[in-house]
Homo-oligomer: A and B are copies of this chain.
């Protein structure tokens, strides 16, 4: 019998993978499930994005392998977008590497920098893939404390045994809590990275969703020495299914990621790259309109949290709201299961982001007002 590798003992199938299957089975039984779980935009990309995909795919010349590091056109479009959106200048030839979604970037960065047995600092709470991927490649995870604003507790971090710590994951706007972060947080992170020779990997997929002003860690002086940043079109451009993102940082750090990447992948479909370059030129009003829709839904999500007697912070960015369960309530997993099985409403239990999430639930804004109103009626 062929045994799976031991690494599979340390993590499970991705939570949403297993849960989506269960929800699908409920729907097939005829249950009208309202899915407020995953952050999968229900709105479409801009019309010009789709038109660009069509245009590119029509050409018989666009179906062969593309450059391992993305087309020059796409990298230039990314560079311009980073400058216009965040005010940072990244060289399209050497400092930007397109990826098939930023999620896979977690693996490639980990492969490029982590040795067996080295330690990685992961926010408690944080995106589950940081932890599973770290374990997957034989490195060790240390969950670090966030303070009451869901920002890193730097005193706590400074007092940790940092021997053998190679990398720290950071993510603002923060998922799942929606804490917006700030340039000050990034400054402290860069200082910490330089002081302890620790790679700071900032995961930035929510930067345009309900944020007053998008921020990048590369606005901070010295950041190129120790930082990488992941970006994604999934949330900001309604292209979650397309699997398009990129990683940016100094030429030297990107080169290591690219060495891994070129041995594992063979580039990205030209049509997806050309359409993505087009998407990056979406107008300010396109983004404003999208945010206006999410803002309305967010009010309904708050109303839903009220009905569930949850408390919450209204000053949140990103695609989710984050509610603290009342004292008398069972834990998050139970609440999520009960809502799904009894009311056919799926909300994400906070514990999948770390044990501190046991008393929280996360509601996605990726459902229409009509669905939110239905959900409100059901509770």
Contacts and interface: CB of A to CB of B under 8 A. Distances in A.
Interface of A: 1-8, 11-14, 16-17, 20-21, 24, 38, 40-45, 50, 53-54, 57-58, 60-69, 100-101, 103-104, 106-107, 111-116, 129, 132-133, 136-138, 197, 199, 225-226, 238-243, 253, 256, 258-260, 262-272, 366
Given A239-B63, A241-B270, A4 B256 contact: yes
Nearest to A114: B5
A2 B197 contact: yes
Contacts of A266: 101, 103, 240, 243
Nearest to A69: B17
B263 A129 contact: yes
B136 A65 contact: no
Contacts of A259: 4, 8, 11-13
Nearest to A275: B57
Contacts of A112: 4-5, 8
Nearest to A237: B63
Shortest beta-carbon contacts, A-B, top 4 = A44-B60, A14-B262, A17-B262, A40-B64
B263 A132 contact: yes
Nearest to A100: B100
A240 B133 contact: no
A240 B65 contact: yes
A111 B272 contact: no
B104 A63 contact: no
B226 A243 contact: no
Given A63-B45, A65-B38, A269 B242 contact: yes
A13 B68 CA distance: 10
B253 A267 contact: no
A47 B177 CA distance: 46
Contacts of A43: 60
Contact of A264 (B41, B107, B253, B366): B107
A44 B17 contact: no
Contacts of A100: 100, 243, 265
Contacts of A267: 241, 243
B264 A103 contact: yes
A272 B53 CA distance: 11
A11 B263 contact: yes
A137 B137 CA distance: 7
A133 B240 CA distance: 28
Given A63-B240, A241-B270, 13 more contacts: A4-B112, A4-B259, A8-B260, A14-B263, A40-B64, A42-B64, A53-B271, A54-B54, A63-B242, A107-B264, A129-B263, A132-B263, A243-B266
